[in-house]
């Protein structure tokens, strides 16, 4: 069995210190750091019962897994346990006092002597009241123990939780980093192959473009953020290849603010938007259409916009997996500081907009 | 000589396939189409034995084309990477080529083809001709000879074959004139039975008949059809 060093250090050290201070106060001559306390058996017996009663409490809390909840949520259960363990302490201490006084009758007598004759109340009632009072005080002490225990433990739980959350977030981000769409790859190879016979020069160029796209897709796995200029370059290569496939069915226009090439953004983000524009827009239209890519700073926001000919089905705007992935990715990277919208604008145009905090 | 047609929205893809097919002199490409509408017209005119069909096409995809055909020729799907569409089919129910197409793979596909003898044009469909049915995510190419029962449900026909009973988007009345009465018998307003699958003929009370199919299902004949059936069969 694993020994819980931290627990035992806190438990023994804490109760030692507490019992020592408590006995110092009880001595009747005000507080002082005395050494004679250690010669007193009362000290050891109180020490012992404190540790024992709260250890039983500790075993109960662990058994019931109560330490995993907020204290408020399990208050009644804890309160019951606290009452019982403080009762155990009080009974023990009372028992010791009675034993020390040499029996029940001498105990009565010594109580009488100490208190004198309180008006009207019998000795039994007085002892009863004192017992309840002492019980109440100990019950508060044990509550103090519980609060300490919960706050120490929950700090640790919170830390573990945070660590797990971070790890999860990283894994999710890795997962969401868009891998290159295999459709694109095979279609590109297929169209480049037939281009070899038709236009060898263009085919050569296309192979180089494809290499660039592949390279950046692989590099994207190692970077959280890249400069916009880099991303744009890849998208241009990508579209050049798609242009081979779609020929006159695909037309692309760029409106790029020349001062924003250093803005940072998640890799493959623009790429995903453009890919979607082709997959759900251009490739669905026999006559083809247009893709307009715009990037600019608007106030403190870096705005990327991809428009394409086509329509988003009204019933599921932004339902595709690529879009869901993009949304998650933005949320993980920027929290609520990034925005994504996808909607139908003018006749036959879909507009996807991403707003990132300007870097 | 196998007459074939290529249907693909990308010019370069068509060109590429044509180039590979040149290595196979037994195949003659009689036509090319870039979309479903073009393909429909050409198919009706040229009646090729084989079509190379791209699944993903604008406006309407390859499946939509097949659904609009009364009967389908041999189909070889071509796709860049579409496991989803391919999964829709029963095992071995179709052949598909992944783009870019290799000569070796194309050769295997051609070897595997069962070239239907183009039936002499007649007003009836040949019993071996195939119908394409798509029900939800599943697709079948089913020869007429395999269909034991056609059941009318509104504007649809429920086709019973094997363990399946998918819906075909056509009415029983529109299909009936194309079915050869040698093989198919209209049992009632609701049913057409494939006579090749009839196991027993039951005479019911008041001179009505019922046909029992291989799967044990009994299809009752209407009064008029009972009389007709007796006349035709001489019973």
Give per-residue pLDDT as tens, A149-193: 888 877 777 777 877 777 777 777 666 665 677 888 888 998 899
What the block records as the tokens of B11 is 């010019």
CATH number for the B2-111 domain, one of 3.50.50.60, 3.90.950.20, 3.40.50.2300, 1.10.3720.10?
Answer: 3.40.50.2300
| DSSP one-letter string for B47-81 | --SEEEEES--SSS-HHHHHHHSSSB-EEEEEESS
**Do B33 and B62 meet the contact criterion of CB atoms below 8 Å apart?**
no
Is any Cβ of chain A less than 8 angstroms from the Cβ of B64?
A: no
Dihedral of alpha carbons A225, A227, A229, A234, sign = negative
Q: Which structural domain range is residue A115 located in? A: 2-163
Q: Which CATH architecture has domain B121-233?
A: Beta Barrel (2.40)
Is any Cβ of chain A less than 8 angstroms from the Cβ of B11?
A: yes
| Dist CA B211 CA B194 (whole Å) | 10
**B10 vs A285: CB contact, 8 Å cut-off?**
no
Give the mean pLDDT of A197-209.
93
A30 and A156, same domain (yes or no): yes
Which of B6, B8, B14, B16 has the highest number of chain A CBs within 10 A, making it the mutation to test binding with A? B16
Alpha carbon of A184: minimum distance to chain B alpha carbons (Å)? 8
A16 and A97, same domain (yes or no): yes
Which residues on chain A are in Cβ contact (under 8 Å) with B85?
none
Which residues share a beta bridge with B98?
B79
A257 and A309, same domain (yes or no): yes
| Dist CA A111 CA A96 (whole Å) | 14
Asked if residue A174 belongs to a domain, the reply is no
- Measuring CA to CA, how many Å separate B146 from each of A342, B160, B163, B191, B194? 48, 9, 11, 16, 9
Give the mean pLDDT of A112-121.
65
CATH of the domain at A301: 3.30.565.10
Burial tier of B146 (Cβ tally within 10 Å: 0-12, 13-18, 19+): buried
Cα angle B17, B19, B24 (rounded to 5 degrees) comes to 90
Residues in chain B: 235
**B12 vs A183: CB contact, 8 Å cut-off?**
no
Of B11, B16, B81, the CB nearest to A182: B81
A150 and A225, same domain (yes or no): no
A350 and A216, same domain (yes or no): yes
A141 and A212, same domain (yes or no): no
Among A30-39, A41-50, A135-144, which range has the highest average pLDDT? Answer: A135-144
A149 and A211, same domain (yes or no): no
**Confidence band (pLDDT; 50, 70, 90) for A106?**
confident
**B99 vs A186: CB contact, 8 Å cut-off?**
yes
Which residues on chain A are in Cβ contact (under 8 Å) with B101?
190
With CA atoms as reference, report the closest residue to A33 among A21, A45, A44: A21
Asked if residue A172 belongs to a domain, the reply is no
**What percent of chain A has pLDDT above 70?**
91
Asked if residue A178 belongs to a domain, the reply is no
Residue B120's pLDDT is 66
Residues of chain B with pLDDT under 70: 82-94, 116-121, 235
Asked if residue A182 belongs to a domain, the reply is no
Is any Cβ of chain A less than 8 angstroms from the Cβ of B20?
A: no
Q: How many domains does chain A have?
A: 2
**A245 vs B12: CB contact, 8 Å cut-off?**
yes
Which of A179, A184, A193, A198 has the highest number of chain B CBs within 10 A, making it the mutation to test binding with B? A193
- The DSSP call for residue B155 is T
Asked if residue A184 belongs to a domain, the reply is no
Cis bond before residue A190 (omega within 30° of 0) = no
| Dist CA A349 CA B71 (whole Å) | 38
pLDDT digits (tens, 9 = 90+) for A45-96: 888 888 999 999 888 888 887 777 777 778 888 889 999 999 998 898 888 8
Residue B91's pLDDT is 46
pLDDT at A285 over 80: yes
A214 and A144, same domain (yes or no): no
Alpha carbon of B72: minimum distance to chain A alpha carbons (Å)? 24
Is any Cβ of chain B less than 8 angstroms from the Cβ of A203?
A: no
Which residues share a beta bridge with B218?
B212
A70 and A136, same domain (yes or no): yes
A8 and A137, same domain (yes or no): yes
- Is the ipTM higher than 0.85? The answer is no
A158 and A243, same domain (yes or no): no
A224 and A139, same domain (yes or no): no
Helix (H, G, I), strand (E, B) or coil at A112: helix
Which residues on chain B are in Cβ contact (under 8 Å) with A284?
58-59
How do the domains of chain B map onto residue ranges?
2-111, 121-233
Alpha carbon of B97: minimum distance to chain A alpha carbons (Å)? 12
Asked if residue A179 belongs to a domain, the reply is no
pLDDT at A1 over 60: no
* Global pTM exceeds 0.90: no
| Dist CA B200 CA B211 (whole Å) | 6
| Dist CA A15 CA A51 (whole Å) | 6
| Dist CA A184 CA A245 (whole Å) | 10
Residue B160's pLDDT is 95
Is any Cβ of chain B less than 8 angstroms from the Cβ of A196?
A: no
Among A99-108, A110-119, A298-307, which range has the highest average pLDDT? Answer: A298-307
């Amino acid at each position: 069995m694993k020994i819980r060093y931290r627990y035992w250090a806190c438990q023994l050290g804490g109760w030692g210190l507490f019992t020592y201070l408590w006995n110092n106060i009880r001595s009747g001559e005000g507080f002082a750091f005395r050494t004679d306390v250690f010669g007193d058996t009362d000290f050891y017996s109180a020490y012992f019962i404190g540790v024992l009663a709260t250890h039983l409490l500790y075993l109960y809390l662990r058994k019931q897994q109560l330490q995993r909840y907020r204290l408020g949520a399990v208050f009644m259960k804890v309160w019951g346990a606290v009452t019982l363990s403080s009762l155990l302490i009080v009974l023990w201490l009372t028992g010791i006092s009675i034993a020390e006084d040499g029996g029940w009758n001498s105990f009565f007598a010594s109580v009488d002597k100490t208190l004198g004759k309180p008006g009207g109340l019998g000795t039994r009632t007085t002892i009863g009241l004192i017992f309840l009072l002492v019980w109440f005080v100990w019950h508060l002490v044990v509550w103090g123990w519980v609060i300490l225990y919960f706050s120490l433990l929950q700090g640790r739980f919170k830390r573990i939780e945070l660590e797990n959350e971070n790890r999860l977030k990283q894994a999710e981000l890795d997962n969401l980093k868009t891998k290159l769409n295999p459709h694109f790859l095979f279609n590109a190879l297929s169209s480049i192959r037939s281009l070899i016979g038709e236009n060898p020069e263009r085919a050569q160029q296309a192979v180089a473009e494809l290499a660039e796209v592949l390279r950046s897709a692989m590099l994207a796995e190692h970077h959280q953020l890249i400069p916009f200029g880099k991303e744009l370059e890849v998208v241009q290569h990508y579209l050049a290849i798609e242009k081979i496939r779609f020929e006159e069915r695909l037309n692309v226009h760029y409106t790029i603010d020349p001062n924003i090439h250093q803005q940072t953004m998640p890799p493959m983000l623009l790429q995903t938007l453009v890919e979607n524009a082709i997959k759900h827009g251009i490739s669905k239209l026999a006559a083809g259409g247009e893709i307009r890519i715009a990037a600019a700073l608007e106030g403190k926001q870096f705005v990327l916009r991809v428009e394409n000919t086509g329509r988003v089905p009204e019933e599921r705007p932004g339902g595709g997996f690529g879009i869901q992935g993009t949304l998650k990715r933005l949320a993980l990277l920027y929290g609520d500081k990034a925005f994504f919208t996808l909607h139908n604008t003018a006749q036959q145009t879909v507009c996807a907009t991403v707003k990132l905090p300007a870097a | 000589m196998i007459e074939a047609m290529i249907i693909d929205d990308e010019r370069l893809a068509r060109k590429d396939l044509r180039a590979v097919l040149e290595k196979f002199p037994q195949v003659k490409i009689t036509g090319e189409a870039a979309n479903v509408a073009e393909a429909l017209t050409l198919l009706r005119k040229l009646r090729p034995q084989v079509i190379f069909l791209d699944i993903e096409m604008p406006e309407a995809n390859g499946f939509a084309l097949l659904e609009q055909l009364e009967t389908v020729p041999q189909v070889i799907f071509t796709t860049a990477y579409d496991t989803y569409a391919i999964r829709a089919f029963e095992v071995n129910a179709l052949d598909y080529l992944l783009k870019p197409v290799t000569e070796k793979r194309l050769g295997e596909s051609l070897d595997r083809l069962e070239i239907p003898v183009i039936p002499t044009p007649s007003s009836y469909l040949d019993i071996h001709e195939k119908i394409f049915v798509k029900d939800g995510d599943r697709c079948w190419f089913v020869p007429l000879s395999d269909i034991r029962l056609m059941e009318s449900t509104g504007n649809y026909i429920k086709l019973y074959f094997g363990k399946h009973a998918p819906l075909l988007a056509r009415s029983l009345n529109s299909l009936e004139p194309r079915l050869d009465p040698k093989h198919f018998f209209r049992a009632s307003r609701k049913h057409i039975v494939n006579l090749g699958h009839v196991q027993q003929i039951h005479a019911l009370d008041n001179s009505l008949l019922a046909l029992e199919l291989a799967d044990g299902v009994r299809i009752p004949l209407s009064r008029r059809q009972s009389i007709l059936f007796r006349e035709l069969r001489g019973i």
